[in-house]
Amino acid sequence: MAKHEGKQHQKIARSRKDFQYKTAHKIVRTGKKYFFYEDLNLKGLTRRNKTKQDQDRNYLPNGQSAKSGLNKSWADGAFGQFFEILQRIASIAGTVAISQKPQYTSMILSYRNEIIFTDCSIREYWDEQNTLMVDRDINAAVNLKRLGLGIFPSIKRRSGKIDIVGTMDDSTTKEILHTLHRAVGSLHCNRFGSV
């Protein structure tokens, strides 16, 4: 029984690694020279919640039962392994994969340097002026690229308020808007079939 279970785990691990290699090759074949990814705190994401006790030393709910499924998902995803594979494949192809600290990238609207996504419950933003639905994750990816290219604004915290320091030229704004419009179109095609 243990031998059979070990073979199953080995098969899953090999399948995951095969998928990661294929994905890394697909990314590198796009012809881009630089790839930026979030420098995730993987140990922190999979850490158990601290125990809580009341005055009588009885244990209180700490949310660990809900988080244990998420911890398992992070471990199953093997993101650390994928980033190592991506860096290796990129270096062989003559390109570079660089990790970036993602601080504030998911909060700031990428083409306007304005804080829109104030908390994680806001997943989309409708921009009336540009008739565009901005997805939080795609917006964060654009900001991660801006960070890697050195065109992300500086963020200053002053007495609890966040100040954004930096401007963006019109050509960069137009390019980002074009990218976001294209991303919305591809999301629409992926959800409802290609046109």
Q: For the chain, how far is it from start to end, CA to CA, in angstroms?
A: 50
What is the rounded average pLDDT for all residues in the chain? Answer: 82
Question: How do residues 47-76 score in pLDDT, each as one tens digit?
Answer: 777 777 778 888 777 666 666 666 666 666
Burial string for 156-179 (b: 16+ CB within 10 Å, else e) reads eeeeeeeebeeebeeeeeeebbeb
Contact yes or no for 96/33 (Cβ under 8 A) = yes
Question: How do residues 14-33 score in pLDDT, each as one tens digit?
Answer: 998 999 999 999 999 998 99
pLDDT of 192:
39
Please indicate whether residue 51 or residue 122 has the higher confidence score (pLDDT). 122
Domain ranges of the chain: 1-42+49-100, 102-195
The model's pTM is 0.72
16 token code pair: 């995951």
Write the Ramachandran bin of 168: left for phi over 0, alpha for psi from -120 to 50, otherwise beta: beta
